[in-house]
């Protein structure tokens, strides 16, 4: 399963693997979740016999810089005369 990563403005950024999404969850970088699909990752056992579990959503929005990925380049002298 792949997870769609959004920026904090809700614009799609990239498809990431479940392991990368789990890392973002553990680093508290996920701002909100969307979608109905989810996957649960099982972890280790503690000394009381409880197994850790992490539920990941299919669409997550993460912290970070909001970048416009539309392909438009700002019109500056540098690019104009290139």
SS (H, E, C) the chain: CEEEEECCCCCEEEEEEHHHHHHHHHCCCEEEEEEEEEEEEEEEECCCCCEEEEEEEEEEEECCCCCCCCCCCCCCHHHHCC
Q: What is the pLDDT of residues 16-40, one digit of tens each?
A: 999 999 999 999 999 999 988 889 9
Q: Is the pLDDT of residue 48 over 90?
A: yes
Find the mean pLDDT for residues 5-15. 90
Domain ranges, ordered by start, for the chain: 2-64
* pTM of this structure: 0.72
């Amino acid at each position: 399963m792949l997870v769609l990563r959004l920026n904090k403005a809700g614009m799609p950024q990239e498809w990431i693997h479940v392991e990368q999404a789990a890392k973002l969850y553990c680093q508290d970088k996920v701002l909100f979740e969307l979608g109905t699909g989810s996957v649960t990752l099982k972890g280790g056992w503690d000394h009381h016999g409880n197994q850790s579990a992490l539920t990941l959503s299919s669409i997550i929005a993460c912290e970070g810089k909001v970048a416009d990925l539309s392909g438009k380049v700002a019109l500056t002298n540098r690019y104009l005369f290139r």
